[in-house]
A and B are shown apart, each in its own frame.
Chain A
Amino acid sequence: MKRVVLILALLVVAGAALAWVLSAPKPRYTEAEWQALGLAGDAAAGRLVFFAGGCESCHKSPGQDDPLRLGGGLELKTPFGSFYPPNISSDPADGVGSWRAVDIANAVLSGVSPGGPHLYPAFPYSSYQRMTPQDVVDLIAFLHTLPAVPGRAPANDLAFPFSIRRAVGLWKLLYLDNAGLRPDPGQSAQWNRGRYLVEGPGHCGECHTPRGLLGEMDETRALAGAPLPDGHGKSPSLRSGGFLDWTTADIVEALTSGFTPVGDVLGAGMTAVVRNLAELPESDRQAIAVYLKSLPPLGPPAPAKP
């Protein structure tokens, strides 16, 4: 009996050790690797990356309208608890002003904060991981031009076991492919640009793709519509229903002014998305529309078998 207990205890310890090793944060770049890329950031280009990525939708200081005051602290309600996006202003103490470029790159591309701890995937690095290093370095250059905003966001308020930050490492093993987006040579440059914007910085799937039990995106039903995380309303399908009747011009208009073909004006989270995408050149909204129109239609999921 004593021996069984001992073996069980050893198994538990071994399991825990294995989980600890597997869940280790894996930043995309070391400082040396990042430097070796030899990239120079351009703030003007980074401004467009900033708006393509919709950074301000979550990081803007709540209760004011300036999208460039990034003090964080907006409450994001989800089934796992409340997230409070952090201060990403250039404040050296409370924001990211003192972060090295490689620190910001690793946060955006692999969801790892400086010094190691995982960031929660409420920060949409599941999508941002597909961004090009050049876009990231431009974004960093732009962020450095923005005002310092003092103050820290409240700590996340998450239910157990989601409150165990280290466990995000296991989630990443399952759901983060840590791969960029290879252009499809069989498609036009416009289509590839659209796919990049939709699947990378634009992170459309974070709301429009249904999620599984652990909050992972169900890529077999990409952009097929999903309930909003706070439980009120939904992000409609971009692969079925009324959206299929939209022309490319309709999509461009909706992403520019919010006006839909039936005279509705996009609401909830899409209002900020439109505000951000309207800052991009029209060619980018055209590219998004061309890519969305190319997606094969997908009906509702098959009913579960009795």
Chain B
Amino acid sequence: MKRLTTVVIALACGIGAVWAATDPIAERRALMKSDGMAAKKMFDMSKGTTPFDLATVQDSLKTLYDGASKSAALFPDDSKTGGGTAALPAIWQNKADFDARFAKFVKDVAAAQAGIVDEASFKKLAPAVFQNCGACHELYKAKSG
């Protein structure tokens, strides 16, 4: 019985994982979440709340780069509602602008990856990365549920 339960749970988890992988809302929410945590680490450093650490910055930028590169494709037409999404209908009404903003975000992150070598260059280039968050959220994200 125990074994059967284990198998059922394992199967359920597997199905859940597969489902999540084909569920763009869950996927983009997970990416946004990790993007947010990565951005927060950099933001705290830029405020001087935490000490500057180049390795952490580079890790965070990599997370942001991966997230930003993948996310734009995770807003198909059938993912407008449900799953606790905070995406606003404006995304699909202005899809070209929305995609262009993601492209700009990727570009700004790449520029930061190439240019940040020390604390001074971090202070100079990080704000351009952060600026993308609010600029996009203003138009395309509202709290839901």
Contacts and interface: CB of A to CB of B under 8 A. Distances in A.
Interface bracket on B: 20 to 34
Interface string A235-258: 110000000000000000000011
Contact of B138 (A232, A234, A264, A267): A267
A233 B36 contact: no
B43 A233 contact: no
Contacts of B16: none
Interface stretch (A86-94, A170-178, A214-222, A268-276): A268-276
A265 interface: yes
Contacts of B137: 258, 265-268, 271
Contact of A265 (B33, B89, B133): B133
A interface, over-half SS: loop
A262 interface: yes
Quick one: which of B36, B43, B142 has the most chain A CB within 10 A? Answer: B142
A259 interface: yes
B3 interface: no
Contacts of B88: 232-233, 268
A186 interface: no
Contact of B38 (A259, A263, A264, A268): A263
B141 interface: yes
Contacts of A257: 43, 130
A263 B40 contact: yes
A258 B133 contact: yes
A236 B141 CA distance: 13
A228 interface: yes
Contacts of B35: 263
A235 B133 CA distance: 19
Contacts of A274: 134
Nearest to B144: A233
Interface in B104-145: 130, 133-134, 136-138, 140-145
A233 B143 CA distance: 5
Interface bracket on A: 20 to 34
Contact of A267 (B37, B38, B86): B86
B32 to A, nearest CB: 8
Contacts of B86: 233, 267
Quick one: which of B33, B35, B39, B134 has the most chain A CB within 10 A? Answer: B134
A80 B143 CA distance: 22
B134 A232 contact: no
Quick one: which of A259, A267, A269, A271 has the most chain B CB within 10 A? Answer: A267
A231 to B, nearest CB: 10
B34 to A, nearest CB: 9
A234 B143 contact: yes
Contacts of B39: 259, 263, 265
Contacts of B138: 267-268, 271-272
Interface in A272-286: 272, 274
Contacts of A265: 36, 39, 130, 133-134, 137
10 contacts: A228-B142, A233-B142, A262-B40, A263-B39, A263-B40, A263-B43, A265-B133, A267-B140, A268-B143, A271-B137
Interface of B: 33, 35-40, 43, 86, 88-89, 130, 133-134, 136-138, 140-145
Interface of A: 228, 232-236, 257-259, 262-269, 271-272, 274
Top 7 A-B pairs, shortest CB-CB distance: A233-B142, A267-B137, A263-B36, A263-B40, A271-B138, A267-B141, A265-B133
